[in-house]
Chains A and B, each alone.
Chain A
Amino acid sequence: MRSSGMIPVFYHADVEVAKAVVDASYKGGVRVFEFTNRGENAFQVFTQLLKHAQSYPDLILGIGTVMNAETTVRFSEAGAHFIVSPVLKAEMAAACQKENKPWIPGCATLTEIVTARDLGAKIIKIFPGSVLGPGFVSSVMPVIPGLQLMPTGGVEPTEANLSAWFKAGVVCVGMGSQLFTKEIIETKNWTRLEQSVADALAIIKRVRK
């Protein structure tokens, strides 16, 4: 996550679309991908994606929008490499520890962040990122040095936005609808998606220097 700088966040009920998005993202340079548990058949699509991802031995594929320990275990046993949540739920920490999987909880205050860290989270998701803003990250980093924060929600694939986040001190960013725009998905324009992903990663490389 640290080295890639960007984790795409995506959900689609159609496994073929999901596969195509993973393919295009991989071609664009993505090596860590978060599929989200946001629809009824998310579990089925995810297990098929895992099978599909076997052709990419260096792709790390995790599950997001997980809210409790039971779902954590279910996805972990299916083969999820990491578990992301929009909330801070302590029972998920215990489940992830048992499964030996990274637990990335979503936090929105420094109290939540420190609680997450004390429960063993190495990377902590800042959500909703656009509400808190890069100013939140630059305010908390000097207070608790060594935090590894990943803002998600409203992060834009532009130089201005990415540079603001990385200058504030984030370790990586999560990017969903801003990257996988409705238009790209509807028109199945995978070449353009690959290009957008590659562009975003190039910007991150540049602003991190």
Chain B
Amino acid sequence: MRFTKQQIVNGMKEAGIVPLFTHDNPEDAQQVLEVAYAGGIRVFEFTNRRENSFNVFRHLISMSGKYPDLMLGIGTILDGVTTQKFIDAGADFVISPILKLDMATVCHQHNTPWIPGCATLTEIVTAKDNGAEIIKLFPASVLGPGFVSSILPVVPGLQLMITGGVEPNEKSISSWFKAGAACLGMGSQLFTKEILEQKNWPLLKQRIEETLRLAKQVRK
């Protein structure tokens, strides 16, 4: 294990932004990861959304010498068996779009952070009671920052990762942090189709730097 659970939880909160990304080409995925790293990213979620995602993820892990202090986790995991497989491959943390308790069991056995996706306070508290320290709110754009500000006084201390429709601009970022979010997950809004198609890495790096800067600024 490269990082302790506490280091990862702290890493996510400090970073404020956890990018999520998938690609079925190992070299292209690595390229994007290196650009994100150069832009300041230290926590990265690769998502298991393609048939060969496992192999691409293993490739990314095998190249971790290039980004030694990067916490690299896996997302879009739906069950305990797949959780085990990716932890064995070296995932630093496991994220899911749903609340599935057999994933918690596997993650706890390995002392790996389990970040389940929840959409109601009942799901969130169930996740918390089953050991989730950071809980993903999904799909966030449907629930809105008002959901976060409504539930935090009710269950204080919740650490929520906001995912789904978060935009890399001051208005969106600031609305979520003001509501009390611990960190923001950002995928297609950051890695736009256009940037990826044109392989415009300087623009991607700039976009990431700007997003991290905004996250820092609005949390001051």
Residues of A within 8 A of B78 (CB): 114, 144
Interface of B is mostly: loop
A135-B165, A142-B49, A143-B97 are known contacts. Are A111 and B117 too (CB-CB below 8 A)?
yes
Between B76, B78, B98, the greatest number of chain A beta carbons within 10 A of the residue's beta carbon is seen for B98
A140: Cβ under 8 A from any B Cβ: yes
A111-B117, A111-B118 are known contacts. Are A143 and B142 too (CB-CB below 8 A)?
no
A135-B165, A143-B49 are known contacts. Are A111 and B139 too (CB-CB below 8 A)?
no
**Docked pose: A109 CA to B100 CA in angstroms:** 13
A110-B97, A139-B164, A143-B76 are known contacts. Are A133 and B118 too (CB-CB below 8 A)?
no
B217: Cβ under 8 A from any A Cβ: no
Cβ distance A24 to chain B, nearest Cβ, rounded Å: 35
Cβ distance A107 to chain B, nearest Cβ, rounded Å: 10
A110-B97, A111-B99, A133-B142 are known contacts. Are A139 and B165 too (CB-CB below 8 A)?
yes
A111-B98, A111-B99, A111-B117 are known contacts. Are A136 and B123 too (CB-CB below 8 A)?
no
B117 in complex: contacting residue of A108, A110, A132, A135, CB < 8 Å: A110
Inter-subunit contact A110/B165 (CB<8 Å): no
Residues of A within 8 A of B98 (CB): 109-111, 114
A135 in complex: contacting residue of B97, B118, B138, B139, CB < 8 Å: B139
B119: Cβ under 8 A from any A Cβ: yes
**Docked pose: A114 CA to B78 CA in angstroms:** 9
**Closest A residue, CB atoms, query B163:** A139
A140-B97, A142-B49 are known contacts. Are A110 and B142 too (CB-CB below 8 A)?
no
B142 in complex: contacting residue of A111, A114, A139, CB < 8 Å: A139
B150: Cβ under 8 A from any A Cβ: no
Inter-subunit contact A136/B142 (CB<8 Å): yes
Inter-subunit contact B165/A111 (CB<8 Å): no
Cβ distance B139 to chain A, nearest Cβ, rounded Å: 3
Cβ distance A18 to chain B, nearest Cβ, rounded Å: 35
- Which residues of chain B (61-113) have a CB below 8 Å from chain A? 76, 78, 97-100
Interface string of A103-121 (1 = CB under 8 A from B): 0000011110010000000
Inter-subunit contact B141/A109 (CB<8 Å): no
Cβ distance B188 to chain A, nearest Cβ, rounded Å: 8
Inter-subunit contact B165/A109 (CB<8 Å): no
Cβ distance B214 to chain A, nearest Cβ, rounded Å: 22
Cβ distance B220 to chain A, nearest Cβ, rounded Å: 30
B120: Cβ under 8 A from any A Cβ: yes
Cβ distance B145 to chain A, nearest Cβ, rounded Å: 15
Residues of A within 8 A of B117 (CB): 110-111
**Docked pose: A156 CA to B110 CA in angstroms:** 49
Inter-subunit contact A111/B76 (CB<8 Å): no
**Docked pose: A110 CA to B120 CA in angstroms:** 10
**Docked pose: A2 CA to B219 CA in angstroms:** 47
**Closest B residue, CB atoms, query A114:** B98
Cβ distance A165 to chain B, nearest Cβ, rounded Å: 14
Residues of B within 8 A of A114 (CB): 78, 98, 100
**Closest A residue, CB atoms, query B188:** A142
Closest 9 A/B residue pairs (Cβ): A139-B139, A109-B119, A111-B98, A111-B99, A136-B142, A143-B97, A139-B164, A114-B98, A110-B98
Chain A positions near chain B (C-beta within 8 angstroms): 108-111, 114, 132-133, 135-136, 139-140, 142-144
22 interchain pairs, CB-CB under 8 A = A108-B120, A109-B123, A110-B119, A110-B139, A111-B99, A111-B117, A111-B118, A111-B119, A132-B142, A135-B139, A135-B141, A135-B142, A135-B165, A136-B142, A139-B138, A139-B139, A139-B141, A139-B142, A139-B165, A142-B49, A143-B97, A144-B97
**Apart from A110-B98, A135-B142, A139-B142, what are 16 other A-B pairs with CB-CB below 8 Å?**
A108-B119, A109-B118, A109-B120, A110-B97, A110-B117, A110-B138, A110-B139, A111-B98, A111-B117, A111-B118, A111-B123, A114-B100, A135-B139, A139-B139, A143-B76, A144-B78
